[in-house]
Each structure stands twice: as structure tokens, then as C-alpha cells.
Amino acid sequence: MPLQTVITGTGCCIPPVIKANHDFVKQAFYAEEGSPIEAPGQEIVQKFQDITGIEERRYAGEQTTSSDMAIEAAQLAIADSGVDPETIDQIIVAHNFGNVISHTVQSDAVPALASRVKHALKINNPNCVAYDILFGCPGWLQGIIQSDAFIKAGVAKKTLVIGTETLSRVIDIYDRDSMIFSDGAGAAIVEAKSSTETSSGILACSMQSHCTQEAFYISFGKSNRPGADPTLRYIKMKGRKVYEYAMQHVPAAMKDCLDKAGIPITSLKKVFLHQANEKMDEGIIKRLYKLYGIKDLPDHTMPMNIHKLGNSSVATIPTLFDMVKKGHWDVHDLQPGDVVLFASVGAGMNINAVCYRM
């Protein structure tokens, strides 16, 4: 009997520390080659907000790690789904930097964050396999795609997929791009359901990796500040290159996913894009509709929470989806039967998309 891969529960952890744009006004910023950026602080911050849409972002508390947030999001997703944790077959945790302790830039990923989550959830079942994946910002969505593959292969019936990150611990405060990044975690329970039980589930997916000249558009590098310790490395992004790459490749991958699913774009209720920056996300969805010859976008198609939460990498889509699904985000809502499209882009460079019926 054909199986459907269905998201039966979601949860998210939104960190408590609010870092507003005005907190950066007095920060000294330097260009990549080390020259000081002479523009007034208020001008720098306002230009940043105009491009990214970010007004404020959330940082984890000093004693909170990525795995701590993952555990909180997981507990909420399990409660939302009503599953017995002992029946979960796989725990997949997407992140990029492991646990980074406050005031350090050293990553700790041994044991894997997924192992720490399983330990905290007190799951004794040895057949519940816990592992991490590194796939840049699309990591959580890649975990959903893997869950779908495992379910349809008969390997698993229930998976817990988490995206968690504390990017605030790996940013170079002297780099303007540091204002983009934030912290957070989101989780989902994914279950196998027979096609007679449900009409919900994953309809199609699309994935790509471009690793030639694009491979190091997002990477680790030394601080922009002259005289900084060259052995300390921070997240670095070639913003213009990332934007151009996303505009060229993401809409095509999204169209490929919709076409595989046999879903006309006019039937699409919502698009959940990785919250990279407002300008880029708006450009992506406009180009998607343009590929179908549609100039005017329907109202309220693309929820966004980047304005208040920033870019938390693997956590942006699951936190946004949880908020909309539970009615916590402005004008957006979801109803049974709605068709939605998830899509993300990030370090690698990697792209993925999933078409899903609620």
C-alpha cells in the first residue's frame, strides 16, 4: 500500500535575547580587506535594514547551546504530534557549527547533537538512530527529504527532524554581514501514513549542489578587523555572489519540484522560503511566478518572520512553519488540503525544495 510522508507535529524554540538594529549603531565595521567603513553608524544600519528587512534578531542566552534549543523544539513537536518518543526510528539534527559555548568560537559536535537530543528525551530504544547532517541553511529541509526517502524505502516509520543554530557565537562583529545572523531551533515529527489514512503529505522534492566556483561563497575566515588574531575564524559570506546564485538557481528548483508534483502554481497556498533576507526572498518568489508567465503575485503567499527573528540558518523554515501552522504569525493561516512549497538555499552551495499538501 502506498505510503505518504506526513508532518504530524511541529515545535520551535525562539531565544529570549532581542538584539535590535540600534544596538549596532556604535559598532566599528571594516571591509573585507580591513579598511574602516567610514559611513555613520545610523546610515549603515538603515541601509542594512532596507536591504534585508531585518529590524531585530534573537540570540540564545549565555548558558544555552544549540542542542538545548533543539531539545526544547523537539519536546514541543513530540507533544504536538502525540507520538510516544520510544517509537521514533530516527532523530536527524541539522546544524552547521555544533554547540559553540558562549564567548568562544570552538565547535563541539562530539557526541553528535542528535545523540544529545536522544539522551535528553530519555529514549532507550537502540533502534532509534540519532545522527547529524551538515547541508548549510537547507539542512532541516534536507532532513525532511531524507525522512521521506527512508519512509518510502520501508526503513523508518517515524522521524524527528530538527534544525538548530547559534550563529551569534560564530559571527565577526566587525563585519556588516554579522547583523544578518541569529539563533533558534525548529522541529517536526514526520510519520508514515497509508494513502487510505490521509491525503496529506510530501508530493515531490528537488535538490541541487553547486560546488565548483560556488563552493566557498559562504565559509569560515578571519576577522575583518586589522590586527585580529588570524587563527580565529568566523562565518563569512560573499553576499552579492550568494544573491546572484539564489536568483539564478532557486526559482528553477522550485519550479522543478512543483512540476514533479503535478501542481499548478495557481493552486499553491503558501511558500515557506529560508529567511535569508527580504530582498532576496522577494526576488526569488517573483522569478518563480515569472517562470509560469505570471507577473502579479497573489496576496499573502509568502510568510516572513525575518524582520523580528533574523536569519537563523537551518531553523528559519521550521520556526516559520510552526508559527503559521499554529496561527501565531500575522495574516497567514493553513487549512487541510492546502498545498505549500518549502525551499532553501545555503552554504555548499546547496538548494532544495519540497511540495507538501496539508
Over residues 227-264, the pLDDT tens digits come to 999 889 999 999 999 999 999 999 999 999 999 999 99
Give the structural domain span for 139: 3-194
- Among 163, 194, 225, which residue terminates a domain? 194
Side-chain-side CA neighbours of 120 within 13 Å: the count stands at 17
Compute the distance between CA of residue 201 and CA of residue 358 in angstroms, rounded to an integer.
7
CA 262 and chain centroid, separation: 26
pTM of the model: 0.95
229: helix, coil or strand? coil
pLDDT of residue 130 exceeding 80, the answer is yes
pLDDT at 102: 85
pLDDT band at residue 181 using 50, 70 and 90 as cut-offs: very high
Residues 179 and 219 placed together within one structural domain of the fold: no
Angle between helices 278-291 and 41-52 (to 10 degrees): 30
User: CB-based contacts of 2: which residues, under 8 Å, 6+ apart?
Assistant: 194, 195
Predicted local confidence at residue 1, as pLDDT: 65
Tell me what pLDDT residue 3 has.
Answer: 87
**Same domain membership, residue 241 and residue 123:** no
Shared domain for 172 and 213, answered yes or no, is no
Distance of CA 317 to the CA centre of its chain: 5
125 and 205 belong to one structural domain: no
Query: 249 and 332: one domain?
Result: yes
Number of domains in the chain: 2
16's CB contacts (< 8 A; 6+ apart) are 58, 61
Instruction: Please identify which residue in the block is written with the cell numbers 545523540.
Output: 115
As a whole number of angstroms, the distance between CA 224 and CA 230 comes to 10
Q: Are 82 and 157 in contact (CB under 8 A)?
A: no
Question: Among residues of the chain, what percentage have pLDDT more than 70?
Answer: 99
What's the whole-number mean pLDDT along residues 149-163? 96
pLDDT of residue 2: 82
Per-residue model confidence (pLDDT) at position 331:
80
User: What is the structure's pLDDT at 197?
Assistant: 67
- Per-residue pLDDT, averaged over 209-220, amounts to 95
Rounded mean pLDDT, 302-330: 94
Do 178 and 277 reside in the same domain of the chain? no
Q: Give the mean pLDDT of 138-164.
A: 97
Q: Which cell goes with 171?
A: 559571527
108 and 226 together in one domain: no
pLDDT of 140 strictly over 80: yes
Q: How confident is the model at residue 158 (pLDDT cuts 50, 70, 90)?
A: very high
Q: Tell me how far CA of residue 102 lies from CA of 59, 106, 166, 351, in angstroms.
A: 11, 10, 9, 30
The mean pLDDT of the chain is 95
CA 310, CA 290: separation in Å to the nearest integer? 27
Distance CA 283, CA 229 (A): 38
pLDDT of residue 107 exceeding 90: no
278 in the same domain as 147: no
111 and 79, same structural domain? yes
Q: What average pLDDT does this structure show over 153-157?
A: 94
Q: Which cell numbers in the block locate residue 322?
A: 510552526
- Taking the C-alpha atoms of residue 145 and residue 81, their distance in angstroms, rounded to an integer, is 19
Reply yes or no on whether the pLDDT at 300 is more than 90: no
Do 231 and 258 lie in one domain? The reply is yes
Q: What is the per-residue pLDDT across 39-83, written as a single tens digit (0 to 9) for each?
A: 999 999 999 999 999 999 999 999 999 999 999 999 999 999 999
Judge if 212 and 331 occupy the same domain: yes
**pLDDT of the residue at 302:** 94
Find the mean pLDDT for residues 198-206: 92
The reported pLDDT for the residue numbered 104 is: 78
How far, in Å, CA of 223 to CA of 69, rounded?
27
Report, as an integer, the average pLDDT of 293-322: 94
**Average pLDDT rounded to a whole number, residues 87-91:** 98
C-alpha cell read off for 226: 586589522
Torsions phi, psi for 242 (to 5 deg): -60, -45
- 194: pLDDT confidence band, cut at 50, 70 and 90? confident
Those residues with Cβ within 8 angstroms of residue 37's Cβ, 6 or more apart along the chain or in another chain: 29, 30, 31, 44, 176
Give the CATH number for residue 56: 3.40.47.10
How much of the chain, in percent, has pLDDT values that exceed 90?
89
C-alpha gyration radius of the chain? 20
Contacts of 321 (CB under 8 A, 6+ apart): 10, 186, 188, 272, 342
Final residue of a structural domain among 194, 216, 235 = 194
Whether the Cβ atoms of residue 304 and residue 275 lie closer than 8 Å to each other: yes
Let me know: does 60 contact 69? Beta carbons within 8 Å.
yes
Residue 231 and residue 327 in one domain: yes
pLDDT at 288: 97
CA dist list (Å): 291 to 94, 216, 277: 31, 28, 21
Where does a domain end: 194, 209, 228? 194
> What's residue 83's pLDDT?
97
